[in-house]
Structure 1
């Protein structure tokens, strides 16, 4: 496996996370770079670990992972999207003195897991290619770190333009990503 192929895998595995991060960034109230970097680190770590798990599961579990990965991603991202939409429609509790909304570790981790399930299946396939899994996982993690950090900051701009309803848009983005993953796997589209 050449370096260019490894980089392409890293970028491909981080695109769903990027789209989800734009939605998260839009839902957050004025996220700053440290918050974006934190989200990038969480997503990147999860994205780096899942192909290793897949690689370790190997051939024996491949049919089970690939048979369910799209359903797991669809469910996790769909539920997160619905939750974000629900929060977008809820009236503000206070008179504007509410502290800025930050997305906690578990919310970010669940979103990261939802966007990285396919990376586990990629890890399974890499077990058969004699690929340097640690290098591939590191590249996937670094690409995701960069893409998610940029996505949160891009979402910040979109969130400032859209106001409170940006969380609804972010929720719709999550559902669209989950649906796209499900559609891709069910139809065999690449």
Structure 2
């Protein structure tokens, strides 16, 4: 995975954090730096931790399914991308939650990072054999999630929901595109 792919993947994973942060900013109606920084920190932490946990679990049984690993990576990324795009066309639910609560922030951090766990599984099948090779993607994912979460909170306060649709669809398309690239590389370029 090159630098551009790593950045695109990081931004795609951070889209959920961005969306939740925009919603939180809308709910709070004013800038609350402590809340926004805490939310951004936990979102970044969990988004970086979950791919590591997925990679760790999958790398233990990779030798059993190495012949099909590219199909698994493609299926996971395509599934997540399609799910992200479909979520935009479902009716939005109005959830009553308090973004200033640590308990709510932790629950949101876990919920938004579940997709990142699947990405970590795909890392094991996409050639990340050593822990050292994960340093750049995990760091990039954590930083992108932190930055986009903080930006989303501020955008939510100032601009409302008008960026919501385009961002989610873009993130889903990027995940699908990376999945197709992995599949094409394994099927035709090796």
TM-score normalised by the chain length of structure 1: 0.62
Name the residue aligned to 2:135.
134
Does 1:153 find its partner at 2:150?
no
CA contact (8 A) 1:50 1:123 kept: yes
Of residues 101-110 and 35-44 in structure 1, the stretch that sits farther from structure 2 once superposed is 101-110
**Structure 2: where are the runs of 5+ without partners?**
63-68, 85-92, 177-190
Name the residue aligned to 1:121.
118
Does 1:25 find its partner at 2:25?
yes
CA contact (8 A) 1:18 1:148 kept: yes
Instruction: Give the direction of change, closer, same or farther, for the CA distance of 1:53–1:108 in structure 2 (3 Å limit).
Output: same
Does 1:35 find its partner at 2:43?
no
**Structure 1: where are the runs of 5+ without partners?**
74-80, 88-100, 160-168, 186-190
Following superposition, the deviation at residue 155 of structure 1 comes to: 1.0
Aligned equivalents of 2:99, 2:8: Cα separation in 1: 32
Instruction: Give the direction of change, closer, same or farther, for the CA distance of 1:11–1:112 in structure 2 (3 Å limit).
Output: same
Moved >4 Å (runs of 4+): 59-63
1:102-134 Cα shifts (integer Å, max 9, x gaps): 521221121122121111111011112233222
Name the residue aligned to 2:16.
16
Instruction: Give the direction of change, closer, same or farther, for the CA distance of 1:29–1:4 in structure 2 (3 Å limit).
Output: same
Following superposition, the deviation at residue 7 of structure 1 comes to: 1.1
Aligned equivalents of 2:20, 2:111: Cα separation in 1: 10
Aligned positions of 1:23-172 closer than 5 A: 23-58=23-58, 60=61, 83-84=95-96, 103-131=100-128, 132-158=133-159
CA RMSD, aligned part only? 4.0
Instruction: Give the direction of change, closer, same or farther, for the CA distance of 1:139–1:129 in structure 2 (3 Å limit).
Output: same
CA contact (8 A) 1:21 1:148 kept: yes
Following superposition, the deviation at residue 32 of structure 1 comes to: 2.6
1:44-81 Cα shifts (integer Å, max 9, x gaps): 00101010011011064998xx6xx97xx9xxxxxxx5
Q: How many residues align?
A: 153
